[in-house]
Amino acid sequence: MLSNKEKFIAPLHYTKYLVLSSLFFLIPAIYAYKNKLYGYSILLLFTSLISANYWRRATYSWRRDIDLLFAKISFITFVSNGIMYVRYIPFIIIGYPCLIILVYCFYLSNKLSKLKNNDNWYKYHMLFHFIMMIEQLIILNSIIHK
């Protein structure tokens, strides 16, 4: 019998795509670094690598705990900075609806992953990663041009 720490949350044939989409956060990390926003760059680098490391073997483990922690820190950091710095009307028009879609994709990925016969959950989580990357780029651009 597998211990809880060895129990897979999802098999690799799904999570390999989430390893890839976790690396999407490297794009805003590089953008932040090139614009001398080193704190954001480091946060995004760690968030990306920790997430990819978790999804390569998605089990109930310390890797999951660290991923959840960094994801929350990154999310709170970027949402609060988005509220403070995004003032350009086209970014507002794109950013706030995308935030709602992002939260909905996260919700759907969690809900569908619990259903035994649904194989679409990881697609919603990949979409969540992609929209998050777009949001991060909008927020970083807004901080740069404040």
Q: Both tokens of residue 44? A: 């995004």
CA atoms within 13 Å, Cβ hemisphere of 116: 0
Q: Provide the 3-class DSSP secondary structure of residue 97.
A: helix
Q: pLDDT tens digits, residue range 89-134?
A: 999 999 999 999 999 999 999 999 999 788 999 999 999 999 999 9
Q: What is the pLDDT of residues 6-25, one digit of tens each?
A: 788 899 999 999 999 999 99
Cα 108 to Cα 12: distance, rounded to the nearest angstrom? 20
Q: 82 and 94 in contact (C-beta within 8 Å)?
A: no
In this prediction, residues 63-83 reach a mean pLDDT of 98
